[in-house]
Amino acid sequence: MPSLLSKENLKITAQKFNLFYGDFQALKDINVDIPENAITSIIGPSGCGKSTFLRSINRMNELIPSVKTDGGIYLDDEDIYTQDVVELRKRVGMVFQRPNPFPKSIFDNVAYGPRAHGLKNKAVLEEIVEKSLTDSALWDEVKDNLNKSGLALSGGQQQRLCIARALAVEPEVILMDEPASALDPIATLKIEELIQNLKKEYTIVIVTHNMQQAARASDYTMVFNMHPDRSGYIIEYGKTSQIFTNPQEKITEDYISGRFG
């Protein structure tokens, strides 16, 4: 597959990808590469289809009946539409904008994914739960009482719980849809630190409205915009440093410097 970025290992590529809600085209001709073990951020004005594209990567947008897609998205050079969707979602995890822990205990929240995929050995589950909570920087705060309800935690803790829950199925890619937008600044910082640590083992794609966050925290950036017919497309993408200091397109430059968006 010809790549538009050279030298890096590509985890996900989109080729001529289009998405329709019924007759309305939400994404038009998306072509992009997402490298492995790096943080790629998706920025752009509201309504350009950033979240829609994110949710296409793990086929979550299939939950909406009127959705039709065209073109391909490839995970490790394999078309995601040829794979079993349940297996795909094991490899590609998601963290949502608003923390959504289940009304179960902390332990059961994290263990839910592995259990759903067939793991029942209690000792192994305990290990997985501890590792996931440690990796999401929540272990020290909850290790004394894993039976507490997940809903009894603070907002920032809940989001870290959701991250731990996503890590527990040992995905290869983690998709994050504005994970810190519902949190206070201190919790946001914690999440950002966490994401930096995660990139060693996982490929991370994160939609964000916060350009400072994108500029300081991600390795690669893709910039979305809207056509006059309200379909979304990618203006350009590349290394974050290059996008923010030397953007190729004027629209990108205008957006980054705050002239619109």
Partner 1 sequence: MKTTQKIQQKLKNNFLFPKFLALFSLFISAVFLVIGFLSFFSIIDLSINKLLALITSVILSAAFFFLAKGFYTLQNWARTTLLSILLLVILVLLVKIIFEFSSIVFAGKQVLSIGEILKYIGEYFLRTILYISIPGILFYFLYECDEVFSETPKQRHMFDYTVKNFLLGTALSSILIVIFIFIFTFQESELAISEIGLNELLTGTIWRPGAIIGTGESHFGLVPMIIGSIYSTIGAIIIGIPLSFGTAILLAEIAPHSIRTIFRTAIELLSGIPSVVYGLFGMVVIAPLIRMIPIEGNTTGFGILNASIILSIMILPTVTNITEDAIRAVPQSYREASYALGATHWQTIKDVVLPAANSGIIAAVILGISRALGETMALIMVIGNSIAIPSPINDNPLSIIFSTARTLTGNIAVEINYASGAHRSALFFTGVLLFLFLLIINRLANHIMKEKKTS
Partner 2 sequence: MNNSLTKQQRMAAARDKINHKPNIRKRRLIQSLAFTFLWIMGFTAIAVLIWIVGYVFVKGFPAINMEFLTTRPAGGFDGEGGISTTIVTTVYLVIFTLAIAAPLGIGAAIYFVEYANEGQARNKIVRWLIKAARTGVEILAGVPSIIFGLFGFAIFVSYLKLGFSLLSAGLSGACLVLPVIIRTTEEALLAVPESYREGSLGLGATKWQTVTGVVLPAAIPGIVTGIVLSVGRIISETAIFWVTLGGSYRLPQNLMSSGRTLALHVYMLATETRAFDKAMGTSAILIIIIIILNLAINLSSKYFQKRLSGK
Per CB under 8 A, contacts with partner 2 among 24-63 are: 58, 60, 63
Distance of CA 77 to the CA centre of its chain: 19
- Is 7 near partner 1 (CB under 8 A)? no
Work out what residue 89 binds among partner 1, partner 2, none; the CB cut-off runs from 5 to 8 Å by kind.
partner 2
Q: Please say whether the beta carbons of 28 and 234 come within 8 A.
A: no
- Is 200 near partner 1 (CB under 8 A)? no
Work out what residue 152 binds among partner 2, partner 1, none; the CB cut-off runs from 5 to 8 Å by kind.
partner 2
Q: Out of 74, 96, 107, 255, point to the residue binding partner 2 (CB under 8 A).
A: 96
How far apart are the C-alpha atoms of 240 and 247, rounded to whole Å? 10
- Is 166 near partner 2 (CB under 8 A)? yes
How far apart are the C-alpha atoms of 136 and 182, rounded to whole Å? 18
Which residue type sits at 15?
Q
What is the C-alpha radius of gyration for the chain, rounded to an integer number of angstroms?
Answer: 18
- Is 1 near partner 1 (CB under 8 A)? no
Bridge partners of residue 32, in order along the sequence:
14
Q: Please say whether the beta carbons of 44 and 92 come within 8 A.
A: no
Work out what residue 50 binds among partner 1, partner 2, none; the CB cut-off runs from 5 to 8 Å by kind.
none
- Is 120 near partner 1 (CB under 8 A)? yes
How far apart are the C-alpha atoms of 181 and 235, rounded to whole Å? 24
Using CB atoms within 10 A of its CB, is residue 246 exposed (0-12), middle (13-18) or buried (19+)?
Answer: exposed
The length of the chain in residues reads 261
Work out what residue 120 binds among partner 1, partner 2, none; the CB cut-off runs from 5 to 8 Å by kind.
partner 1
- Is 62 near partner 1 (CB under 8 A)? no
Q: Which segment (81-89, 100-108, 186-194, 210-218) binds partner 1 by CB under 8 A?
A: 81-89
Residues 6+ away with beta carbon under 8 Å from 216: none
| Beta-sheet pairing, 173-177 with 203-207 | parallel
Question: Min. distance of Cβ 250 from partner 2 in angstroms?
Answer: 37
- Is 87 near partner 1 (CB under 8 A)? yes
Per CB under 8 A, contacts with partner 2 among 111-150 are: 112-113, 115-117, 148-149
Q: Which residues contact partner 1 by CB under 8 A?
A: 84, 86-87, 118, 120-121
Binding interface with partner 2 (CB under 8 A): 58, 60, 63, 65, 86-90, 93-94, 96, 98, 100-104, 112-113, 115-117, 148-149, 151-152, 162, 165-166, 169
